[in-house]
Structure 1
Amino acid sequence: MSVIAINELKKRFTNGEVEEEILKGINLELQPREITALVGASGSGKSTLLTIAAGLQPSSEGSIVFNGQDLTQMNSEEIRKIRAKDFGFVFQSSHLVPFLTVEEQLYLMLEVAGKHLSKVELQKEVRELLQRVGMEHRKNAYPSSLSGGERQRVAIARAIVHRPKILFADEPTASLDSLKSKDVMKLIRELTTSFNITTLIVTHDREMLDYVDNIITMKDGFIQSN
């Protein structure tokens, strides 16, 4: 059974008097514990598809069914609650809060997600996850002192510390060299499986496709192949 089902999804933008259709009837299902990669040329619609599926912008037509609920029929507050509780996000830039330490980044996410745990349980969750991503030794460091690869590891940990059902990753390795990119993708692969997460990733890097289960090629707002 799919975790999320996207049906006949369309997205239109108006540029002056000209209406442009970015997505032209997308149908896609994401399965549990699988990584699905969206690939295609710039302007093909892959990042637009990801952000709409994640509830970060509205669609023009179609439905996005998650947990039996159609996100396209929800108001902004209802979608915000789902994003906070059930979705995780990783982007090209880590978007870490500059004045929070590594471990404080994770505590903040747990608070936003509304996780009601004791202080001991919170500390255990954060400590174990930082160990898992190889960043426990930098728990008191601030983002400015971290390398690009370290920042992305923290961003990944922050994105899944609340145990989301879906991880949305938009070009998470684009700012990294090839070695660090592979390390990040290996980590996403491992955590997707062990934490029962479903992952949707946008990437231009063909080398990263060795770590995914499904490859969806997009062209001009359509799914070209899958």
Structure 2
Amino acid sequence: MTLFTIDAVRKTFKNGEVEEEILKGINLSLKEGEITALVGASGSGKSTLLTIAAGLQKATEGQVLFEEQNLTKMSTEQIRKLRASKFGFVFQFAHLVPFLTVEEQLLLMLDVAESPLKSHEQQYEVNRLLQLVGMAHRKKAYPSSLSGGEKQRVAIARAIIHQPKVLFADEPTASLDSQRSQEIMFLLRELTKTLKITTLMVTHDEEMLAYTDRIVKMNDGIVLQTIQ
């Protein structure tokens, strides 16, 4: 089922007197339970496309449709609420709060997402998800005692604790070694399939593409090729 549609999206920036076109009419549909990878050289527009899809910046032209809602017509507050409730984010670095334990990181996210769950239900969800990502044994640990791979597992758990429909991952393995990268990608794929999330990922690492369902190759703001 198609959950997310990017329709004729263009993005331009002013650079002094010159107007630069970063995206040149991108069309892309994202399906439930699939990982789509955006790949291309620096400056190809893949990160800009990700941030527009996530509602972090506005397209100059075109529209972004999610569950029949048009993000390009939403107010800033409407988009903020949508991101908090329906979207999850994983970045190159985990960006964990240093003074919170692993379980507190997830509880904070539930608070931000204004979860309707009662306190004991929230604790159950935290425990269940930490078990799912292999971090239940470290739930009382602080970020300073975690390895890079462990931090990224916690970041993934935090990103999906509120049961988002879409997960945006921007270079999620770039700071990890090869083995840890493979483990994180395997985890992302398993969670995407099990929880039926729609995952859009930017990556430079071609080894990670084996875990994706679709590869979108970009260059100079256009889609060169889509491989499924």
TM-score w.r.t. length of structure 2: 0.98
Select between 173-182 and 113-122 the one with higher mean Cα deviation.
Answer: 113-122
Aligned to 1:174: 174
Aligned to 1:200: 200
Aligned to 1:124: 124
Which secondary structure does the structure 2 equivalent of 1:223 belong to? strand
Question: 4+ residue runs of structure 1 moved beyond 4 angstroms?
Answer: none
* TM superposition shift of 1:60: 0.5
Write the letter of the residue equivalent to 1:40.
Answer: G
Deviations 1:195-220 (A, max 9, x none): 11000000000000010000000000
Aligned to 2:43: 43
1:57-72 mapped onto 2 (5 Å cutoff) = 57-72=57-72
Which secondary structure does the structure 1 equivalent of 2:32 belong to? coil
Aligned to 2:14: 14
Distance 1:161 1:10 in 2: 32
Deviations 1:12-62 (A, max 9, x none): 011111110000000000001000000000100000000100001111110
Aligned to 1:134: 134
Structure 2: segments with no counterpart, 5+ residues: none
Query: Between Structure 1 and Structure 2, how many residues are aligned?
Result: 226
Aligned to 2:156: 156
Distance 1:13 1:99 in 2: 38
Distance 1:55 1:93 in 2: 20
Write the letter of the residue equivalent to 2:151.
Answer: R
Aligned to 1:108: 108
Which secondary structure does the structure 1 equivalent of 2:2 belong to? coil
Deviations 1:95-129 (A, max 9, x none): 11111110000001111111111221111100011
Instruction: Report the aligned-residue RMSD.
Output: 0.6
Structure 1: segments with no counterpart, 5+ residues: none
